């Protein structure tokens, strides 16, 4: 039995969405799932004040009743509370998995930097509102049950990490940024102009040599807004160009993104987590 | 007589706009103004390829016929070419003023870092298309003629610099970032959600202690897009909050922004440029 608790360190979650996820989870063998009440709190942009979000995240992390902390959604706000929350996590927090993506990447980064638990880039409860959202949700449940067919297929012997591109660019140089030396880093983006993606890569490229990455993979870049003129290059051209300038191997694409096909990327090395090679069930 | 040449290191400029600026400049005593042909080149998002933009910028900077290089507009692209262009600037380039704002901030930063010429945060030719655009254009001409009433009124004995917020956040940690120790830094923003502004400040706040700023001033934050929920704080609240977290004095507002009231901020200290105290004509 894997016991999952959901909290919302960024934007607020809807009760109607939570009901759908709970309903779906009820039919999944080996899973129990609880939404922390803080998911539904509201304070301006956020799911409650910074203090409320810290308190809920720390309560979930330090509660021995749960095996996994699942971040309800992105939407911005985790970076404001991550340091404070991490400082209050105890030994119990170190034993569990933390799953999410998008804005939750600030927490995955900070957890990884501090060696707390097992950060996992994964679909989130909010995906239940997408078409085929249950496929994303059940991928998380299957991963927690040890099913390695849920993993990003390019994962190999090298340690990996995955981020939203904006999130990674904003993490650079902050107290949340983990050591990614030797890692294959995957980035995805949504709802950003190509010029903004080029600009984020400009910023990352300056940091990349010191990061000593094994290489970079590009996930999906979706819902690019219409601009008044074509950029003149696509997202993969942009990633290749800046990897070239930074001297970092561009390794191709990754099957991650703001969509239901988003495959799972546990931070770090597969063997550390006891995961079998890709494609084999455990 | 001040001889100004305009080039476009970011987005392309319109010939019709150039004609308006030229027409207005013709009536200004002591000013001659020329648009480099590269302003009208187009390559995808940019005013010509990276190579074309580097060549034009270096030609303008190194040409002893001109006293000032004025950047036609923002729009993204200067960061791609700045390092290459700066490396090719010669002694002539060190004797002149460079004026612009928004995306041109990457160049102002790199010029300032490398001690090349006199970088100035100022209106741009593109402002001619705004209502009351001639007021912005004539402010630049008056500044070049030594009129200190054009300056940002809060400038005092301390060195200063001004940037678009996104530009400054993307500059941090790059080879273009100048030493801003002891500086009053002013930031302005346009067309960004308040959550994005908060996120940019999160990123900057991590760098600010090492920057050893004298303080930060907030310019105008304009054209904030509508969001599905209110952020819960305004731009000044956000700037104050992150300055507080970073331990940097928040000094109040500055009269800069993406608009025709945008006052002029020469990088560095007033006395270095021989500028009289604010409000006095020279």
**ipTM of this predicted structure:** 0.96
Contacts of B199 in chain A (CB under 8 A): 76, 79, 166, 170
Nearest to A204 by CA among A226, A223, A189: A189
Whether residue A230 and residue B44 make contact (CB cut-off 8 A), yes or no, is: yes
- For the segment B54-75, what is each residue's pLDDT rounded down to a tens digit? 999 999 999 999 999 999 999 9
How many angstroms away from the CA of B155 is the closest CA of chain A? 30
Whether residue B76 and residue A195 make contact (CB cut-off 8 A), yes or no, is: yes
| Three-state SS at A170 | helix
Residue the block writes with tokens 């060696």: A115
Contacts of A203 in chain B (CB under 8 A): 169-170, 172-174
| Three-state SS at A206 | helix
Whether residue A45 and residue B230 make contact (CB cut-off 8 A), yes or no, is: yes
> Which among B44, B173, B199 has the least Cβ separation from residue A231?
B44
In the numeric block, which tokens belong to residue B196?
């994005």
Whether residue B229 and residue A45 make contact (CB cut-off 8 A), yes or no, is: yes
* Mean pLDDT of all residues belonging to chain A: 95
A76 touches chain B (CB under 8 A): yes
Question: Which are the contacts of A188, defined by CB distance < 8 A and separation ≥ 6?
Answer: A162, A163, A164, A165, A218, A219, A220, A221, A222, A254, A256, A257, A258, A262
pLDDT of residue B52: 98
pLDDT of residue A272: 66
Whether residue B44 and residue A233 make contact (CB cut-off 8 A), yes or no, is: yes
Rounded-to-integer distance, Cα A196 and Cα A219, Å: 16
| Three-state SS at A187 | strand
* Cα separations in angstroms, B156 against B159, B188, B276, B279: 8, 19, 10, 11
- Residue count (chain A): 282
What is this structure's pTM?
0.96
Determine the residue of chain A that is closest to B43 in CA distance: A232
Contacts of A195 in chain B (CB under 8 A): 45, 75-77
* Cα separations in angstroms, B218 against B243, B244, B248: 11, 14, 13
How many angstroms away from the CA of B252 is the closest CA of chain A? 23
| Three-state SS at B101 | coil
pLDDT of residue B272: 66
Contacts of B200 in chain A (CB under 8 A): 170
B224 touches chain A (CB under 8 A): no
Whether residue A203 and residue B173 make contact (CB cut-off 8 A), yes or no, is: yes
Question: Which are the contacts of A232, defined by CB distance < 8 A and separation ≥ 6?
Answer: B43, B44, B45, B46
Contacts of A232 in chain B (CB under 8 A): 43-46
Beta strands in chain A (DSSP E): 2-7, 31-35, 68-71, 97-100, 118-121, 160-164, 184-190, 215-222, 250-253, 265-266
Rounded-to-integer distance, Cα A173 and Cα B174, Å: 11
How many angstroms away from the CA of A120 is the closest CA of chain B? 22
pLDDT of residue A85: 98
pLDDT of residue B201: 98
* Cα separations in angstroms, A207 against A177, A201, B70, B150: 11, 10, 30, 38
- Per cent of chain B over pLDDT 90 is 93
pLDDT of residue A276: 60
Helix and strand counts by DSSP (H, E) for chain A: 9, 10
Considering only residues 3 to 32 of chain A, which have any Cβ-Cβ distance to chain B shorter than 8 Å? none
Whether residue A206 and residue B166 make contact (CB cut-off 8 A), yes or no, is: no
Rounded-to-integer distance, Cα B21 and Cα B124, Å: 10
Q: CB pairs below 8 Å between A and B: how many?
A: 83
pLDDT of residue B279: 46
Average pLDDT of the residues in A6-11? 98
How many angstroms away from the CA of A241 is the closest CA of chain B? 11
Asked whether A38 and A7 are in contact (CB, 8 A), the reply is: yes
> Which among B44, B172, B199 has the least Cβ separation from residue A173?
B172
* Cα separations in angstroms, B246 against A50, A171, B22, B164, B236: 17, 16, 45, 19, 15
Rounded-to-integer distance, Cα B270 and Cα B20, Å: 32
Compute and round to an integer the Cα radius of gyration of chain A. 18
> Which among B43, B202, B227 has the least Cβ separation from residue A79?
B202
pLDDT of residue A280: 43
Whether residue A173 and residue B44 make contact (CB cut-off 8 A), yes or no, is: no
Asked whether A99 and A71 are in contact (CB, 8 A), the reply is: yes
Whether residue A76 and residue B198 make contact (CB cut-off 8 A), yes or no, is: yes
- For the segment A174-233, what is each residue's pLDDT rounded down to a tens digit? 999 999 999 999 999 999 999 999 999 999 999 999 999 999 999 999 999 999 899 999
In the numeric block, which tokens belong to residue A229?
């003129």
Determine the residue of chain B that is closest to A201 in CA distance: B170
Whether residue A200 and residue B170 make contact (CB cut-off 8 A), yes or no, is: yes
Main-chain dihedrals φ then ψ at residue B43, nearest 5 degrees: -145, 95
pLDDT of residue A279: 46
Considering only residues 171 to 210 of chain A, which have any Cβ-Cβ distance to chain B shorter than 8 Å? 172-175, 194-196, 198-200, 202-203, 206-207
Average pLDDT of the residues in A240-262? 97
How many angstroms away from the CA of B3 is the closest CA of chain A? 32
Whether residue B231 and residue A45 make contact (CB cut-off 8 A), yes or no, is: yes
Average pLDDT of the residues in A242-264? 97
Local confidence band at A277 (pLDDT 50, 70, 90 cut-offs):
low
pLDDT of residue B270: 74
Whether residue A207 and residue B46 make contact (CB cut-off 8 A), yes or no, is: no
| Three-state SS at A73 | coil
How would you write the pLDDT of chain B (282 residues) with one tens digit per residue?
A: 899 999 999 999 999 999 999 999 999 989 999 999 999 999 999 999 999 999 999 999 999 999 999 999 999 999 999 999 999 999 999 999 999 999 999 999 999 999 999 999 999 999 999 999 999 999 999 999 999 999 999 999 899 999 999 999 999 999 999 999 999 999 999 999 999 999 999 999 999 999 999 999 999 999 999 998 999 999 999 999 999 999 999 999 999 999 999 999 999 987 666 776 554 433
How many angstroms away from the CA of B169 is the closest CA of chain A? 8
Whether residue B206 and residue A45 make contact (CB cut-off 8 A), yes or no, is: no
């Amino acid at each position: 039995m894997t016991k999952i608790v959901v909290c919302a360190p960024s934007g607020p979650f809807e009760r109607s969405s939570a009901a759908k996820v709970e309903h779906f989870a009820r039919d999944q063998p080996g899973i129990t799932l609880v939404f922390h009440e803080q998911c539904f709190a509201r304070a301006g942009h956020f799911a409650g004040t910074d203090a409320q979000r810290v308190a809920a995240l720390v309560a979930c992390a330090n509660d021995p009743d749960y095996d996994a902390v699942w971040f309800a959604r992105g939407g911005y706000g985790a970076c404001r509370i991550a340091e404070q929350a991490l400082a209050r996590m105890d030994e119990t927090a170190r034993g569990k998995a933390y799953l999410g993506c998008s804005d939750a990447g600030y927490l995955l980064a900070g957890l990884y930097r501090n060696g707390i638990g097992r950060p996992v880039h994964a679909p989130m409860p909010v995906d239940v509102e997408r078409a085929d959202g249950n496929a994303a949700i059940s991928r998380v449940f299957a991963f927690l049950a040890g099913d390695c067919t849920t993993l990003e297929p390019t994962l190999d012997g090298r340690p990996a990490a995955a981020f939203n591109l904006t999130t990674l660019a904003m993490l650079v140089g902050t107290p949340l940024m983990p050591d990614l030396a030797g890692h294959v880093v995957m980035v995805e983006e949504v709802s950003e102009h190509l010029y903004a993606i080029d600009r984020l890569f400009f910023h990352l490229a300056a940091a990349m040599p010191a990061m000593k990455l094994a290489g970079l993979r590009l996930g999906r870049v979706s819902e690019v807004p219409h601009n008044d003129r074509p950029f003149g290059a696509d997202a993969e051209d942009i990633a290749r160009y800046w990897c070239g300038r930074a001297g970092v191997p561009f390794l191709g694409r990754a099957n991650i993104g703001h969509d239901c096909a988003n495959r799972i990327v546990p931070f770090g090395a597969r063997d550390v987590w006891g995961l079998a090679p890709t494609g084999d069930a455990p």
